[in-house]
Structures are given as structure tokens and as C-alpha cells.
Copies of this chain bind each other. A is one copy, B any other.
């Protein structure tokens, strides 16, 4: 996979924590955490919409495409 989620970055910029954002996005803390940490395999446009609205940003601020070369040597990124 080479789509990474920069939700944490935008949250930091807006000074919003999970608790606050979860309320505005109307999603549970737990599931928003999953999203934030790139554990989600898909996203509903309605959810993306709510996030963009709450953070006043664009999808491009949250989703980023990077071509994957192997840099898996460092640590591990995708553990089972």
C-alpha cells in the first residue's frame, strides 16, 4: 500500500485531539484512532467529508500517495 494518512498532522495543526474530533465527526474514539493510525483499509466519503469539515481542510491534506520502494529495512511498518 502506498496511501498514507496524514490525519495526525492535520489534527496537530488544528490543535484538535481525538476526543474533540471524534465528537465532531460523529465517530467513535476507537474507530477514529484506527483511521488516524493508518489501520483502515477504506474510508467512507461521508466520514472523509465530516473530517474535512471539522478540520477545515482538503482530502489531499489527509490522504497522500507515495510510491512504495522498500524501506522496510528500518523498523517494521506493517506488522501482522
Which residues of A line the B interface, CB within 8 A? Answer: 1-3, 40-46, 48-49, 52-53, 57-61, 63-65, 67
Expressed in whole angstroms, the minimum distance between the Cβ of A59 and any Cβ of chain B is 4
Pick from B2, B44, B45: contact of A49, CB below 8 A.
B2
Copies in the complex: 2
Pick from B1, B45, B53, B57: contact of A40, CB below 8 A.
B45
Q: List 29 A-B contacts (CB under 8 A).
A: A1-B49, A2-B49, A2-B52, A2-B53, A3-B46, A3-B48, A3-B49, A3-B52, A40-B45, A41-B44, A41-B45, A41-B46, A42-B43, A42-B45, A43-B43, A43-B45, A45-B63, A49-B65, A52-B65, A53-B65, A58-B60, A58-B64, A59-B60, A59-B63, A59-B64, A59-B65, A60-B60, A60-B61, A60-B63
